Amino acid sequence: MDENFVSDINDLMQIIEDSDLLVLHFPTLGKALVIDPRFSESSTPIIRLLPAGTPTAHLVKSYRRFRSGFPKVKKMSLIPWFGFVQSLKTSGVWEKIEQRCFQANFPGTKTELDSAIKELESLQIIELKNAIGSKKYHTIWSNNS
């Protein structure tokens, strides 16, 4: 885990277990990972990486139309993730998300989850490179001796 991780991991695992709709918000990457682990015989879990600016209310309305065969979302959880993407894996959070989504036993679910985490890891690498050598970030304190 990294130093920015401040949540109680057991509470977070329970939230993942209980939620109908999960939104993992990555503020430093400008992305939100939307996961609807619910499924039916003909409908797979939903895993989408969206721009972080997508309003939550719009998201819920869209899902009502898009997932009309499912009951209304009873518990939606927004989880801000300020740490490194890798810490999702090392903390066990990603494994818990996979367990929720794999309950459906649809073959494409693993591919979608793998694709989402790889894209987040790639975005994190780009962001770290930008922090070192781009004009996007500025030094607050400099050593002008």
Query: How many residues in the chain?
Result: 145
Residue 59's pLDDT is what? 66
Strands 21-26 and 76-80, bridge-based pairing: parallel
In a domain, 84, yes or no: yes
In a domain, 122, yes or no: yes
- Print the domain residue range for 36: 9-133
In a domain, 1, yes or no: no
In a domain, 15, yes or no: yes
The structural domain count of the chain equals 1
Does 130 have pLDDT greater than 50? Answer: yes
Mean pLDDT of 127-139: 81
In a domain, 57, yes or no: yes
Model-level pTM greater than 0.85? Answer: no
Instruction: Tell which residue, 83, 78, 70, 62, has the closest CA to residue 6.
Output: 83
Residue identified by tokens 């930008």 is 130
pLDDT band at 57 (very low <50, low <70, confident <90, very high): low
Beta bridge partners of 31: 26, 51
